[in-house]
Amino acid sequence: MELVTIYKRVIGLDIHQAQITACALLEMPDGSSRVEQRQFGGFKRDRRELAKWAAALDPEEVVMESTGIYWKSP
């Protein structure tokens, strides 16, 4: 079975109480892929930094996995 690319620029978020782990998978113009991982804190200023980082990557889609209620803004 051959895998087919659906999105060329995606970010996945793993949300925890005090930390957000972000992983971006980016297809480059030459067809190669680049993976970029970052960790952010759980405070509002950290989420703003995450938003700025994500916007700079211009993703087509951002998805989130959360545990419990940690995805809710305090």
Query: Is residue 43 situated within a structural domain?
Result: yes
What does each of the 74 residues of the chain score in pLDDT, given as a tens digit? 787 778 999 999 998 888 999 999 999 999 899 999 999 998 999 999 999 999 999 999 999 986 677 667 66
Verdict on whether the full-model pTM lies above 0.85? no
Query: Is residue 13 situated within a structural domain?
Result: yes
Query: Rounded to an integer, what is the distance from CA 44 to the centroid of its chain?
Result: 16
Instruction: Please tell me the distance from the alpha carbon of residue 54 to that of residue 62, in angstroms, as a whole number.
Output: 9
Number of domains forming the structure of the chain: 1
Instruction: Please tell me the distance from the alpha carbon of residue 50 to that of residue 44, in angstroms, as a whole number.
Output: 10
Query: Is residue 73 situated within a structural domain?
Result: no
- Domain of 26, CATH number, reads 3.30.420
